[in-house]
Amino acid sequence: MKAKLIKDTQAAPSAGDDSRLIEIRSIKFWPAGTVLEDKRAYRLVQLGVAEPADPECALAAGMTSEQMRIAQRQQEMVSKGIQPDDYQRYLDGEITGYDADGNDIPGPNYIEETEDE
């Protein structure tokens, strides 16, 4: 079955030297739009990494468009290393991730923490 990647996605070493791979800072990526054929391709759809590229994959994934949208949003958080406790803050636009010191990277709806006097 086949699934089409939504974003540039890090390739596993098992991808080998596939000619479609691109390399950025010594890390190999599948470019967005790459169609992968694999018996577990439906998992990529369920994980929000890809969309079905054939009826077999769509059937195996068994998701509505809305469920796929939610999975894609969740995968975005997980791949950025957002802590489970911060998922809602991310969804609310308060943070977009963390910097190298572990501090919040403010989002459009960031709420400044105030210190008690």
Partner 1 sequence: MAKVKVKGSVVKQDIAATLTAVAQVIEFSTSGAESETYDATTLDTVGAGKEYAQTGYSEGGSFDFSIFLDPALAGHQALTDDITTPAERDYSVTFADSGTTAWTFTAAGIGLNVSGAMSDGLKADVSLKLDQLFDYAT
- Number of residues binding to partner 1, judged by CB under 8 A: 35
Q: Say if residues 6 and 46 touch (Cβ distance below 8 Å).
A: no
Site for partner 1 in 45-74 (CB under 8 A): 46-47, 49, 71, 74
Verify binding: residue 9, partner 1, rule CB under 8 A.
yes
State how far the Cα of 20 lies from the Cα of 23, in Å rounded to an integer: 10
Query: Count of alpha carbons within 13 Å of 89, Cβ hemisphere only?
Result: 17
Give the nearer residue to partner 1 in terms of CB position, either 47 or 110: 47
How far, in Å, CA of 39 to CA of 37, rounded?
Answer: 7
Location of structure tokens 């501090």:
103
Give the binding site for partner 1 (CB under 8 A).
Answer: 3, 5, 9-15, 18, 27, 30, 36, 38, 40-41, 43-44, 46-47, 49, 71, 74-75, 78-81, 83-84, 97-98, 100-102
